[in-house]
């Protein structure tokens, strides 16, 4: 669990640093009509993390369950690859993002809450809950937390691509 929490911290810090130095005029600029802006990507990450956090909390209140052995072998690193584009489920699609400072503050608070939940619940208990991912199916709680870090890494790459397209190299 320690390595997963370190990955969460590392990727989160990289992303926060990358977006905090972006010219405010570029934050909401979309590279194309069907592509998200940097602000929309950050809002999406907040929505996903909030969703994961809330689902983990609910599932921790339920009796322990087992996620299939083969599912536990699924490497979460796959989430960080940008080989295939996925459409985000409606509940985690960005809509009218708030100002960046407010969004980053919310994002930081969500991350602190997720890490606290991990420490309080512990790896053993998290491994005995089922998190339903829209594309990956059933994951255990440890995989869900790991997925958050790799999902964030995926979108950090996307943010860098967006910034190149909208004018900042």
- Where are the strands (E) in 34-147, listed by range? 130-133, 137-140
Q: What pLDDT is attached to residue 169?
A: 42
Percent of the residues in the chain that have a pLDDT greater than 90, as a whole number:
47
For residue 159, give both structure tokens.
């943010």
Calculate Rg over the CA atoms of the chain: 16
Q: What pLDDT is attached to residue 78?
A: 63
CB 14 within 8 A of CB 156: yes
CA–CA distance, 137 with 142 (Å, rounded to integer): 14
Residue numbers in the chain where pLDDT is lower than 50: 169
CA–CA distance, 84 with 87 (Å, rounded to integer): 10
pTM of the model: 0.88
- Outline where the chain has alpha helix (H): 2-20, 24-27, 38-60, 69-72, 100-126, 141-166
CATH architecture of 2-166: Up-down Bundle (1.20)
pLDDT in tens, 104-148: 999 999 999 999 999 999 999 999 998 888 878 888 899 899 989
Q: What pLDDT is attached to residue 13?
A: 92
Q: What pLDDT is attached to residue 57?
A: 95
Nearest CA to 97 among 157, 47, 51, 23? 47
């Amino acid at each position: 669990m320690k390595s997963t929490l370190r990955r969460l911290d590392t990727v989160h810090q990289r992303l926060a640093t990358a977006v905090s130095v972006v010219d405010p005029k570029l934050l909401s600029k979309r590279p194309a009509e069907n592509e998200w802006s940097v602000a929309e990507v950050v809002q999406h990450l907040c929505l996903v993390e909030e969703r994961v956090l809330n689902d983990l909390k609910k599932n921790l209140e339920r009796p322990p369950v087992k996620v299939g052995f083969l599912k536990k072998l699924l490497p979460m690193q796959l989430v960080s690859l940008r080989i295939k584009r996925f459409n985000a489920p409606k509940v985690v699609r960005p809509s009218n993002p708030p100002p960046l400072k407010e969004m980053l503050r919310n994002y930081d608070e969500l991350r602190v809450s997720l890490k606290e939940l991990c420490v309080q619940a512990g790896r053993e208990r998290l491994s005995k809950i089922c998190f339903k991912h829209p594309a990956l199916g059933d994951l255990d709680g440890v995989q869900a937390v790991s997925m958050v870090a790799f999902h964030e890494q995926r979108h950090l790459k996307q943010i860098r691509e967006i910034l190149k397209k909208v004018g900042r190299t």
